[in-house]
Amino acid sequence: MTNNLFRLTASVVTIFIAGGSLVHVCAQSKKNRFDPDGSFWIKGAPPDVFSDFGGINLNAKGNKRLPKPGLELNNGRRYRFSQLRVSQERFTFTTVTVSNISYSFSGRFLKGGVYLAGNLDDETPVLEGTLVKYRNGKKMAEAKLSLVYFGGT
């Protein structure tokens, strides 16, 4: 009888420890999840060569609160991504060409987490990198930028 009670107690303790570990692992994976969906705007005044730049929009899940993915100008013209790589350590894209103009960006995110769920302000840069503008495939402008986050309305 004592042996059975010991086995039962050991089983309950093992299940409790395993269950606690599983909860800890799930919490860790949510904590470490990276999801930067939203819009990114230049912090401060844009360089003269990018005075028409509106923002970079990421919207991997098709959230209706967020703009369609791509680069957007102040006049509303959008440049869809033709190539896109998103990780916290490396964020790169190239856009389609519209009226002989295209863009590329290479940079990195400065903060992890789920941006829509975070408490990010519009003063602290969360993305930095180099934006390049091409005309007829030739580089016509380049600038290193710091960008802030906007998660939609």
pLDDT: is 21 or 83 the higher one? 83
Going by C-alpha positions, the residue among 142, 115, 149 that lies closest to residue 42 is 149
Going by C-alpha positions, the residue among 90, 45, 38 that lies closest to residue 69 is 38
Going by C-alpha positions, the residue among 70, 43, 35 that lies closest to residue 56 is 70
102 Ramachandran zone, left/alpha/beta (phi>0; psi -120 to 50): beta
What confidence tens digit (pLDDT) does each residue in 128-137 have? 999 999 999 9
Pairing of strands 53-58, 70-73: antiparallel
In this predicted structure, what is the pLDDT of residue 116?
86
Residues 147 and 55: their CA atoms lie apart, in Å, by: 9
In this predicted structure, what is the pLDDT of residue 11?
55
In this predicted structure, what is the pLDDT of residue 151?
80
Query: Residue 114 carries which DSSP code?
Result: B
Q: Residue 9 — pLDDT band, cuts 50, 70, 90?
A: low
Residue 115 burial by Cβ neighbours in a 10 Å radius (0-12, 13-18, 19+): buried
In this predicted structure, what is the pLDDT of residue 140?
97
Query: Considering the entire predicted model, what is its pTM?
Result: 0.77
In this predicted structure, what is the pLDDT of residue 27?
42
Whether residue 82 is predicted with pLDDT greater than 60 in this model: the reply is: yes
- DSSP helix, strand, coil percent of the chain (3-state; round to 5): 25, 40, 35
In this predicted structure, what is the pLDDT of residue 14?
47
Dihedral of CA atoms 113, 117, 123, 128 in degrees, nearest 10, equals: 30
In this predicted structure, what is the pLDDT of residue 30?
52
Mean pLDDT of 104-110: 98
